[in-house]
Structure 1
Amino acid sequence: MLVCKNCFSDKELKGFIISSGHISECGYCKNRDIETIHLEELFDFFKELFDNFQVKDDGERLISKIQGNWNLFSDIGIGNRIMNYVIGNIDTHLQNSEELVDFNNDILDNVNYWHVLKEQLKWERRYLTDINYLTELGWDSFFESKIIINKDDYFYRARLHHISDEDAYSNDKMYCPPKEISTAGRANPKGIPYLYLSENEDTVLYETRASYLDEVSTGHYPTKCVS
C-alpha cells in the first residue's frame, strides 16, 4: 500500500518520504502526483514505536496517545487506517489503533523518577551521591564529567570578620550556617544549608570579597573517607 507525505505531520517522516519516494497516487488520502512510498518501508519504525506501549484497561486509545505526544499523522482517520494496516502485518502485542494503552514500565519508571528527582533538587538537595538508580535507568551518560576526590585532599573555607580585632572563628562557626538563616546559594535552596569549600586557599579569599586590611578566618577540611 502506498502512503504519501501528506498523510503525516511529522517533519522527519515527511522528509523521508520526499527524499526516498516516487510520484504516484496515495492509497490513503487519494492525493495524486505526490511523493509516496510503500508503507512496508515504515514497518520497522512503527514496530519500535509500538514497543513503547503496554495494554492497560484504564489506559488511553493508542491513536490518541501517539497523536497527543507526537502529532504523527495529519488526520486521525488516516492515522487509524495506517496503524491498523501496520498492526495487521507486523509482529506486535497490539491489536488495533483503538486499543487502550499506556507507556511501558521502563518509560513510566523514567518519568516517575524524574518527577521525584525534580522535587528533591528543588527542595531537598542539589547534589546526588548515589547514582546507582540513575545508571539503571540509563541516565549515566548525563554524568560523564567527573571529579575524583582523593583521601589526602584538603579543602578550604573563609569567613569575613565584621568586627576589627575579633578572635578567629571557632571550628563550630566555620561550617555551614544554621538552616534558619540559610539563604539560597549556587547549589542550595533557601533553608537547606550547604558547606561551600574550595580546593584552592586563594579562591576562598576572593569568594568572601575580602579587600585590603579586612580580617578573615580560614579553615581547612580533610576529606572524610567512607568505606
Structure 2
Amino acid sequence: MFRHAARVLLVSLALPAMTVAAAAEDGPTARFIVVEGSGEAQAVPDMARLSAGVVTRGHSAREAMAGNAEAMGRVMGALRAAGIADRKVRTDRLSVTPVYDQSRTRAEPRAPIAYQATNTVEVTVNDLGHIGSLIDALVNSGANQLQGVQFGIRDAAPLEDRARLAAVADARRKAALYAEAAGVTLGAVLRIEERGAQLPGPRMMAAARMVQDTAVAPGEQTINVGLAVRFAIE
C-alpha cells in the first residue's frame, strides 16, 4: 500500500517539472529566431500514363456497344503486342449515351437519332523510350480517342528527402545571417515545422501533336518543400 502511495507522489512531483521545462522554452525569457526555408529537387520522369480508347455510334445501344467492343478488342491486342501487361491497363470510362438531333427546338419532341458508345483505358508505361511507338500502334489499331500523356515519378520519396535537406540548409543559412546581423549567437534547432511538399502535377503533352510527331520529351519535374525552423539564440 505504501509503495503505491510513493509511486503516485513521485509522478505528481515529476509532472510540474516537465511543464516548467516546456514553459521555459516558450516563456517570456526564451530567446529564439524563426525563419522559413525552402528547398527543391529535380528528377527526370520515369513513368507515364496515357488515356486511349474508342468512340463508336450505332442505330441502337446494342449496335453501338457491339462495334465498340470489336474495335476495343483490337486496341487491347495492340497493347499486349507492345508488351503492356494487363495489370497496367485500367478501364477509365465505359458509357453508352443517346445522340439527339440538335437542330430541333426544345419544344419539339426529341427522340434519339443514334447511340454513342465510349470505352477508354488508362495505360501505365514505365519504358518511356517506347511510348512514341506505342501511341502509333494504338492509333493504327483503331483508337480514335487519345487524351495525351501524363509524365510522373514512380517513387517520389527520395526526391522529397533531397528537397527537405535543401530546405533545412536554406533555413540555417538565413538564421545565421540574421543572428550575425543582430549580434547574437545561433544555437540549436528547437522546432521544425514542414509546410508540406508540393509535388508537381502530371505534365501533359497534347494528343494532337503526338499523333503528328511521336517524339516525346518528358523533361524534368521539380518537388518543392517549405519549412519553418525555430533556432535558439544566445
TM-score in same-fold range (> 0.5): no
TM-score normalised to structure 2 length: 0.24
TM-score normalised to structure 1 length: 0.24
Higher relative contact order, structure no. (Cα contacts within 8 Å, ≥ 6 residues apart): 2
Higher strand proportion, which one? 2
